[in-house]
Amino acid sequence: MVGSFGFPWLRALGLTACALFAAVANAQLLDDIEVRSDQGVSEIRLHFTVPVRYIKHFPAERGELIKLYLQVLSLDGTEERDFQEYKRTPSIPHVPAFTVMYSTVRSCLSVRDPLCLDIQFSKPVRFNIRQGEDGRSVLLHVLADTNSHTAPSTKPNKR
């Protein structure tokens, strides 16, 4: 008799645990951060679990903190929730250490289903940003900083 009551309880517990795991897995929007370097340019690819649309970023091309604004283009009718997540990246040659924090809190951007990212580098970088071709990624190119390595140019004297 004890076994017959224990089995449905165990099954219910297992199903509940699976449902909770699925909810947590679905809540994660930033799937992966991939970094590649080639000839002084490093490409940071932010992979998302859902389609996203690039809206804008600030500052324009140089900074230590990059504010990146996206819109989630969710194809399934998932429940809307406000959440935040923080990701630290491993040490990568030719790219200053950085962390990524993102939020879906509606106050971060006045669009439906906002996704706002703060990308914090350990020192200022020159960069450009564009939407990935797959619709689920954003590309951040960290460029070689020519200003910090060269002295100001002077015009040669004419004789």
User: Is 158 contained in some domain?
Assistant: no
pLDDT top residue among 6 and 55: 55
pLDDT band at 155 (very low <50, low <70, confident <90, very high): very low
Helices and strands (H and E) in the chain: how many: 2, 8
Specify if 61 maps to a domain: yes
130: amino acid identity, one letter: R
Q: pLDDT value at position 77?
A: 52
Q: Which of 49-53, 74-78, 91-95, 154-158 has the lowest mean pLDDT?
A: 154-158
- Residue 92 in any domain: the answer is yes
The model carries a pTM of: 0.72
Q: Would 45 be classed as within a structural domain? A: yes
Task: Tell me the CATH number at 98.
Answer: 2.60.40
Residue 41: count of CB within 10 angstroms of its CB = 15
The listed range with the strongest mean pLDDT (7-11, 75-79, 81-85, 111-115) is 111-115
Residue 73 lies in a domain: yes
Q: Is residue 111 part of a domain?
A: yes
Position 108 in a domain: yes
Give the count of domains, the chain. Answer: 1
Is the model more confident about 146 or about 97?
Answer: 97
How far is the C-alpha of 17 from the C-alpha of 71, rounded, in Å?
30
Q: How far apart are CA 106 and CA 110, in angstroms?
A: 7
Q: Which domain holds residue 58?
A: 30-146
75 is a domain residue: yes
Interval 30-58: pLDDT, tens: 999 999 988 888 999 999 999 999 999 99
For residue 92, what is the DSSP state?
B
For residue 66, pLDDT beyond 80: yes
Cβ within 8 Å of residue 110, ≥6 positions away: none
